[in-house]
Amino acid sequence: MQIRPQSTFDEERLLHRIDELLGQVRHLETEVERTHRLATLGLLSGSIAHEFNNILTPVLSYAQLALATPDDEELNRKALRKAVEGTEKAAQIASAMLGFVRDDESERTAVVRSVVDEALRCIGRDLFKEGIALEIDTPRNLQVEMRPISLEQVLINLILNAADAIRPGSGRLRISAQLIDGSTGNKRSVAIKVEDSGRGMDAALVSRIFEPFVSTGPKDGRRTGTGLGLTICRRLVEEAGGTISVSSVAGEGTAFTFVLPAAG
């Protein structure tokens, strides 16, 4: 009978325990990510409810007018058009919200422009009406090696932060993406940038921006987040094999750039 040295046995137990702890950490990170998605929807609930009200009010008004004047064919057609338009828009927002909660583990690549559009639908409000000029410059066929739900979560966080940095005034928010070569070994990569003309950040805040519980938001209570948004964004980007960085000047604006492996 061969007896293993005690030190070897202890090392095996230690390595096994370390593997167990790492598995628990990964599980907790996943749960935090999912909880943060729900928290983000909670933050958006007010603006989404407001947008639904904006959609339903004209639908109801035209329907009431059509009922009051049943012989007015032109008004009836207009009421039906408004009902169809409102229903389609409300359905798009609801679908985007449901998609943001669900997570299809089988999806490992994302079409950047499609995810950008889905993120904006999920936010559920018209940024233009808030004085924010939105510019999107993302090729339609550009794909990255990242789960769509993860990319959407990153984009929603960055877009919300940018909008908060601009309000209560007016400004510009730009989302762009371009294919670049040689940034990840020999593979092509995609650089996605979310930039705003808002209040910006000083160097001290920039240096800590991805740390847990560091907030970029205003101190007037307009939006209360978890303080984990950018920390989770960095984890999701790095999990996909990418990098994320920020540049900002106080009073001039902020730009977040994340680089992901290209797909397709």
Q: Please tell me the pTM assigned to this model.
A: 0.72
Low-confidence ranges of the chain (pLDDT < 70): 1-9, 16, 24-39, 41-43, 46-47, 50, 100-101, 103-105, 182-186, 213, 215-227
Q: For residue 13, what are its two tokens?
A: 């137990």
Give whole-number Cα distances, 166 to 119, 125, 130, 233, in Å: 19, 15, 10, 21
pLDDT of residue 227: 63
CA nearest to 146, candidates 180, 201, 104, 118: 104
The domain segmentation of the chain, as residue ranges, is 109-263
Quick one: pLDDT at residue 87? 83
Name the strand (E) or helix (H) holding 160.
Answer: helix 148-166
Structure confidence at residue 3 (pLDDT): 54
Q: Would you say the C-alpha torsion 180, 182, 183, 186 has a positive or negative sign?
A: positive
The domain made up of 109-263 has a fold known as Heat Shock Protein 90 (3.30.565)
User: What is the per-residue pLDDT for 191?
Assistant: 96
CA 18 to chain centre: 33
Q: Which pLDDT score, from 0 to 100, does residue 136 have?
A: 95
